[in-house]
Amino acid sequence: MSPSVKYFFDPNTFTLTYVVWDAVSKDAVVIDPVLDFSPIKGRTDTVSAQQVVDFAKQNGLTVHYSMETHAHADHLSAGPWLREQLGAKVAIGARITEVQETFKAILDLDHLATDGSQFDRLLAPDEVVRAGTLEIRAIPTPGHTPACMSFLIGDAVFTGDALFVEDFGTGRCDFPKGDSGCLYTSVHERLYKLPEATRVFVGHDYQPGGREVRAETTIGTSKEQNVQLTEATPREAFVSTRNARDSKLDPPRLLWPAIQVNANGGLLPPASNNGIRFFKTPMNLRRPTTDSGAPLPQ
């Protein structure tokens, strides 16, 4: 089966959202929908997600699931809003509970349940999800986060932040419980074992060199040309270069708002006693200071 695929690109977060459907039955799923958020204004909006809803309705699609490849650190999920608009259940890898436990502790989030109950469905490794006539295999691809899943639908695989277009490489592994060795295994031993003609649809495109947006490559091209991890790349070389690169990266601009929403199934934080919602932002997480802000001796 070769499903139909439509992508939507959010230039503010370089995120690719996908609508995937069976052209005959019109059964569909959405992968990685974006809820707009301005950190300066402290304001959310549904402009990006409305494009997805409009497309689904205009094409007569029945959207069964809104599927998250992982708890994103760079954009907020519109999963709950798509559930309201389209009746799409929100699904994510079952290891999301590890992500919830990690960030509940870091951010002291009393309201955050850590059993995954905010999601409609938790996906086991290699579980097959049926969405009408569509069959989706949930391939575990941890490394960027422990809960990362890639979704294989016919001849197309949606890799989230595990594998990008070949001129950019792979996802970073420096978030809590990220692991470059695990990512090597996920890509080299899981994704690269798929047929070479398999279409690869990536979670982000950062447009290196200012080129046009690319959402798609193939397993064969990735195995031969990925700038960070080809089929011939030794594990030790990948781990070393990935870790060195990650050590120089700044955190994503929306890291703390995104993780507080996405680990909570896409739901916003509850209102405080004054009726206003707040995000928490840790200070000096990896560099403790005095109360006056001076770094403590290492």
The 10s digit of each residue's pLDDT in 91-112 is 999 999 999 999 999 999 999 9
Task: Report pLDDT for 261.
Answer: 98
Task: Report pLDDT for 152.
Answer: 98
Residue at 177: amino acid letter: K
Inside any domain, residue 73: yes
pLDDT at 25 over 80: yes
Distance CA 65, CA 79 (A): 9
Task: Report pLDDT for 153.
Answer: 98
Distance CA 195, CA 235 (A): 21
Inside any domain, residue 175: yes
Mean of the pLDDT values across residues 207-235?
98
Inside any domain, residue 33: yes
Note the pTM of the prediction, 2 decimals. Answer: 0.96
Mean of the pLDDT values across residues 130-139?
98
Residue 77's CATH number: 3.60.15.10
Task: Report pLDDT for 27.
Answer: 98
Task: Report pLDDT for 86.
Answer: 98
**In the block, which residue shows the tokens 């990948």?**
238
Strand order of the β-sheet with 128-131 is 128-131, 134-140, 149-153, 156-158, 199-201, 216-218
Inside any domain, residue 223: yes
pLDDT band at 285 (very low <50, low <70, confident <90, very high): confident
Domain with 184, as residue range(s), is: 4-249
Give the chain's domain count: 1
Q: In Å, what is the CA distance from 193 to each residue of 136, 147, 168, 233?
A: 17, 20, 20, 15
Task: Report pLDDT for 241.
Answer: 98
Task: Report pLDDT for 298.
Answer: 75
Task: Report pLDDT for 159.
Answer: 98
